[in-house]
């Protein structure tokens, strides 16, 4: 997530979307518009998402909401740039919401319906739709599984106005080009613009954004320092550049090992770490020989030897 001036943020910036949707009324309106169903009063939880997650190399700014009467749960996230593994990220979010319920003592039978919604400033499937809705369906009979999980991808690049509400189209056009003013006459869009203006004047939100910037800057600095120290130690004979690369690789291998121990897939790890999926796949293959007690140092050495052999 790149940091820019707080006053320059728009609805398509993850932090501003998070701030706006932290308002229960705005969140409820968006959910009703997207899902085309009545949503009762919702409680929005954002404190645990507005925090640095080392495993993600960044800050997760997804909005979590729970309907107070039915206990249906919703996870909404802005996606300004297309990244690999978005579909599998949705599975991860569904599982997180389920685990939160189960850890509170509920049984499988009482798991609430969960909805994961991505607001994308791109077309995730290339079919020129404003909305893509998914739920589990039997291939042979086309019967729905009714497991209570629903995943929705919204796209600002849709062209099928006749298939969705005009209100949803105007919202997505606003997300796609917030500064155009073309949708300012829309009631919901106008309320979003008013709230964004208020947020930009709010010292508490500007303070949170500043804290976010500090956390990310410190993490980048710490990562660079750690990579430099490990790099110098491991690569003194091969040269400073090779040493830094070795330090970076060791750090990446160490994080991969932690995630492998938790049973995460190659795609999930690559997405969480925002790393190249081919590089993660090579690490996972090398780590397979050391499961379940992964030795990051030995795995790193093996990968470096393989790299040296390929270069000779």
Q: Token digits for 220?
A: 């980048």
1 confidence band (pLDDT: 50, 70, 90): very low
Question: Who has greater pLDDT, 284 or 3?
Answer: 284
Bond from prior residue into 292 cis (ω within 30 degrees of 0): yes
310 confidence band (pLDDT: 50, 70, 90): confident
CA distance 271 to 84: 6
> What's the whole-number mean pLDDT along residues 88-104?
90
Q: What is the dihedral of CA 6, 9, 11, 13, to 10 degrees?
A: -90
Mean pLDDT of the chain: 85
Does residue 270 register a pLDDT over 60?
A: yes
> What's the whole-number mean pLDDT along residues 232-250?
62
> What's the whole-number mean pLDDT along residues 180-203?
92
Does residue 73 register a pLDDT over 80?
A: yes
Q: Going edge to edge, which strands form the sheet with 42-45?
A: 42-45, 63-67, 73-79, 114-120, 149-155, 131-134
pLDDT at residue 50, as a whole number: 56
Beta partners for 79? 120
Q: Which residues are CB-contacts of 241 (< 8 A; sequence separation ≥ 6)?
A: 235
pLDDT at residue 311, as a whole number: 67
Does residue 179 register a pLDDT over 80?
A: yes
pLDDT at residue 56, as a whole number: 45
Question: Who has greater pLDDT, 41 or 306?
Answer: 41
Residue 213 φ then ψ, to 5°: -60, -40
pLDDT at residue 57, as a whole number: 45
């Amino acid at each position: 997530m790149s940091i820019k001036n707080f006053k320059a943020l728009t609805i398509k910036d993850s932090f501003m979307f998070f701030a706006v949707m932290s308002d229960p009324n705005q969140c409820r309106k968006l959910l009703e518009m997207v899902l085309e169903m009545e949503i009762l009063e919702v409680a929005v939880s954002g404190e645990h998402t507005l925090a640095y997650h080392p495993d993600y190399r960044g800050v997760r700014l997804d909005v979590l909401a729970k309907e107070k009467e039915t206990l249906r749960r919703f996870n909404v996230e802005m996606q300004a740039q297309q990244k690999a593994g978005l579909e599998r990220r949705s599975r991860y979010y569904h599982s997180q919401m389920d685990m939160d319920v189960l850890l509170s003592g509920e049984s499988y039978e009482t798991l609430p319906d969960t909805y994961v919604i991505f607001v994308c400033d791109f077309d995730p499937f290339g079919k020129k739709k404003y909305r893509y809705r998914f739920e589990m369906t039997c291939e042979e009979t086309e019967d729905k599984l009714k497991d209570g999980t629903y995943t929705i991808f919204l796209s600002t690049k849709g062209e099928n106005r006749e298939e969705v509400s005009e209100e949803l189209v105007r919202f997505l056009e606003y997300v796609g080009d917030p500064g155009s003013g073309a949708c300012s006459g829309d009631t919901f869009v106008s309320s979003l613009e008013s709230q964004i203006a208020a947020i930009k004047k709010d010292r508490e939100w500007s303070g949170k954004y500043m804290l976010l910037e500090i956390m990310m800057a410190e993490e980048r600095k710490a990562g660079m320092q750690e990579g430099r120290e490990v790099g110098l130690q491991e690569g003194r004979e091969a040269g400073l550049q090779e040493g830094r690369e070795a330090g970076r690789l060791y750090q990446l291998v160490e994080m991969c090992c932690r995630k492998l121990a938790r049973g995460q897939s190659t795609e999930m790890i690559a997405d969480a770490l925002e790393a190249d999926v081919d590089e993660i796949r090579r690490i996972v293959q090398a780590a397979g020989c050391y499961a379940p007690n992964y030795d990051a140092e030995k795995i790193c050495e093996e990968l470096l030897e393989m790299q040296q052999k390929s270069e000779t």
